[in-house]
Amino acid sequence: MGSRVNTVLTIPEPGKTALVQKPYPSIKAGYVVIKTEIAPVCLEGTRIWAEHDFEFHDDPQHLGHEGVGTVVDVIDGSNFSVGDRVIVFQGDHCGQCHACNSGLSPTYCDANDPDVVGPDNAAMHGIERRNDSASGGFAMATHRIAPEANLYKIPDALPFRYAAAANCSFGVGFSNQENMDVKAGDTVLVGGVGFIAMGHVISALYRNATVIALMRNAYRRQLLTDMGVVHFVNPDDPDWLEQVRALTYRGQGVDHAIDSSGVPYYQERLIDATRKYGNINFSGHTPGAHLELHPLKHVIDPAHTLWGQHDVRARDRERLIRALCNPDVQRMVDVMVTHEFPMSRASEAFELQVSKQCGKIYLWTQQ
Ligand SMILES: [Zn+2]
Ligand SMILES: [Zn+2]
């Protein structure tokens, strides 16, 4: 591997990016090296670039978890070949925990849990450590290491830009809706619309559910209109609840309510608008925000079920990729992905994300 290098995106201080050259990744059995093509922006803009606020799995030198690319290095005996196009479902894989044995999301694998293996050994830092590699655990770089168990081979006919929606946008919405069993004829209310909610909207429309959007952001309202959503309610309207109920069967309330805002302003409304025995899904969080939950009022009396899940369950991967091959899903992904930037211009991408005048943003890492 000699003189090859890995070009890695860093955010050394708030509002600043820098490309840094690190040693090319080294791998051990069970892992491959991928030349990443697209690293979609998750919360790197709002959380890290703007605030320098980090979670256990990232820091100024280690950024990005979503991605697609091409396998460029394997070890003898690998199930993958150089040239395979793959989706990376983030994190490591232990193969033996409850999540691994049940086909659940790798976020819940013991190998990615800092409380089980310690923060230095968990998730993508752990991938670099277990491979004795000086780089490669993360998505916002030209090259990345991933465990074979968390790779999915992309069908030849599926372009990278649609496969890249398999992580924290359409993928998360799709897997949460498999979990909740969203069906044709159901009514789905989304509140506070960001890119995860947009993934939920695409998934709900793909399932022939009726979508109602409780939202105020005019730019994103136009995106949902372009996807095919026709029902919008302004949560500031005094009669917002009557408006939502009027759109549901017998006025009984929505079957599924999905929060993408992470704030009680929306969460309380979503709970109020859900029918008896309906589902409440939490797909967003805002640091410092707290919902005051009254078990009798919010759960027992309405018989609500509360849901939430990061990431994509392994058991949902095939159906997710089959959905991404659907032309109407691809049309909606084209609406959701409003901007694409070369990684060398990542600051512009992050600034745009902070403005909220965008849908999902892609970084092309080889440019
Ligand atoms: Zn595991
Ligand atoms: Zn993400």
Distance 300 CA to ligand 2 centre (A): 33
Nearest to 182 by CA among 256, 284, 280: 256
Q: What is the reported pLDDT for 216?
A: 95
List of residues 6+ apart from 19 with CB closer than 8 A: 7, 8, 9, 10, 343, 344
Output the DSSP codes for 193-256.
--HHHHHHHHHHHHTT-EEEEE---HHHHHHHHHHT--EEE-TTSTTHHHHHHHTSGGG--EEE
Task: At 10, list the tokens.
Answer: 């860093």
Per-residue pLDDT tens for 100-133? Answer: 999 999 999 999 999 999 988 999 999 999 999 9
Q: What is the reported pLDDT for 285?
A: 86
**Per-residue pLDDT at 96 exceeds 70:** yes
Nearest to 225 by CA among 205, 243, 207: 205
Distance 112 CA to ligand 1 centre (A): 8
Q: What is the reported pLDDT for 57?
A: 87
Please give the single-letter amino acid code of residue 361: I
Locate tokens 């998730």: which residue?
123
Please give the single-letter amino acid code of residue 191: G
Query: 303 in the Ramachandran plot: left (φ > 0), alpha (ψ -120 to 50) or beta?
Result: left
Distance 66 CA to ligand 1 centre (A): 19
pLDDT band at 253; cut points 50, 70, 90: very high
Q: What is the reported pLDDT for 286?
A: 87
Distance 263 CA to ligand 1 centre (A): 31
Q: What is the reported pLDDT for 119?
A: 86
Distance 294 CA to ligand 2 centre (A): 30
- Asked if 26 contacts 44 with a C-beta cutoff of 8 angstroms, the reply is no
- Asked if 69 contacts 35 with a C-beta cutoff of 8 angstroms, the reply is yes
Q: Which ligand is nearest to the CA of 92?
A: 1
Q: Which ligand is nearest to the CA of 47?
A: 2
Phi, psi of 362 (to 5 degrees): -105, 140
**Per-residue pLDDT at 346 exceeds 70:** yes
Is the C-alpha dihedral spanning 321, 158, 356, 203 positive or negative?
Answer: negative
> Parallel, antiparallel, or unpaired for β 187-191 and 143-147?
unpaired
Q: Which ligand is nearest to the CA of 110?
A: 1
Distance 359 CA to ligand 1 centre (A): 32
Phi, psi of 148 (to 5 degrees): -55, -35
Locate tokens 């030209």: which residue?
142
Distance 103 CA to ligand 1 centre (A): 10
> Parallel, antiparallel, or unpaired for β 210-214 and 18-23?
unpaired
Q: What is the reported pLDDT for 103?
A: 98
Distance 117 CA to ligand 1 centre (A): 11
- Asked if 219 contacts 247 with a C-beta cutoff of 8 angstroms, the reply is no
Phi, psi of 258 (to 5 degrees): -125, 120
Least confident interval from 1-15, 152-166, 172-186, 310-324: 1-15
Per-residue pLDDT tens for 199-232? Answer: 999 999 999 999 999 999 999 999 999 999 999 9
**Per-residue pLDDT at 164 exceeds 50:** yes
Per-residue pLDDT tens for 264-315? Answer: 999 999 999 999 999 999 998 888 899 999 999 999 999 999 999 999 999 9
**Per-residue pLDDT at 1 exceeds 50:** no
State the Cα–Cα distance between residues 211 and 204, nearest whole angstrom.
7
Distance 4 CA to ligand 2 centre (A): 28
